[in-house]
Amino acid sequence: MARFPDKQNVIDAIIKGINRAKDNFLHWTNDRLYLSHAPAKMLSIHVAQEIAKIKSTPEIFIDASISDILRCSLKNRRAFLDYMEKKGISEGIFSITLDERLRHKNNNDSISKVIISIKNGIRNIKNEYQNEIEKICKMLDTDKEEESSLDYGILAFYSDLPKSARKKLSTRIPQIIENFNEIVAKYPNLKSDFQNSKIHKIDDIGEWIIGVYIIQRV
């Protein structure tokens, strides 16, 4: 079994991947459109490519379903439907899932370790983002740590603003993160952290930032 990559290596790869997506999209559109105009899937693919460069590369899946992730992470693999009902989790997907890289004996022995949701163009507090944080919390919030192989979940995002915006990223981002923290605080077994690039300012155009919000067990 290959060694699973350190969390910080994954976070660094996410930031690098989104940054590369920004550069590529700007080039593809002849320097006319910033990354917030791109489909979110573009960010996912670039992030997956950067994670794949980590020396201890995990298995990487894009748009895996919640039921599949739970089936590959719960100690009792057959209990995923009961878990979804108990936690009030509807079927859906995560942008990227990282599994342990191992020599498989069958199609039902995968071990999911990390769930990643990627959002493009976050600028304000919205139900969509709050629901995503809640969903990550529910996926991680088992009664006992050994009941699930999931180590942590991430909501990663890119945000930009035009120069004309009166409320700048330096004000918006702390408010968004504080709102996320309030959601995580409802789960005593979980804690959160936030890492980000600096706020990049572009003369006469605007500003942008990449953020990575991490949720894990206490």
pLDDT of residue 84 exceeding 80, the answer is yes
What does the buried/exposed string (b/e) look like for 133-171 if buried means 16 or more CB atoms within 10 Å of the residue's CB?
A: bbbbbbbbbbeeeeebbbbbbbbbbbbbbeeeeeeebee
Q: Residue 139 domain-assigned?
A: yes
In a domain, 2, yes or no: no
In a domain, 80, yes or no: yes
**Which neighbouring-strand residues pair with 140?**
none
| Phi, psi torsion values for 47, nearest 5 degrees | -65, -45
pLDDT surpassing 90 at residue 108: no
Residues 197 and 194: their CA atoms lie apart, in Å, by 10
The number of distinct structural domains making up the chain is 1
Instruction: Supply the pLDDT for residue 1.
Output: 53
Q: Is residue 71 part of a domain?
A: yes
Phi, psi (degrees; rounded to nearest 5) at 153: -125, 155
The confidence score (pLDDT) of residue 104 equals: 83
Residue 107 resides in a domain? yes
Please, which residues have CB within 8 angstroms of residue 49's CB and are 6 or more apart in sequence?
A: 17, 20
pLDDT band at residue 107 using 50, 70 and 90 as cut-offs: confident
Residue 88 lies in a domain: yes
Is residue 172 situated within a structural domain? yes
- Tell whether 1 is covered by a domain: no
**The pLDDT value given to residue 75:** 93
pLDDT of 18-51, one tens digit each?
999 999 999 999 988 899 999 999 999 999 999 9
What is the average pLDDT score of the chain? Answer: 95
Domain that holds residue 166: 7-217
Is pTM beyond 0.85 here? yes
Q: pLDDT digits over 137-153, tens only?
A: 999 999 898 999 999 99
Instruction: Mark out the alpha helices in the chain (DSSP H runs).
Output: 7-28, 40-51, 66-71, 80-87, 127-140, 169-184
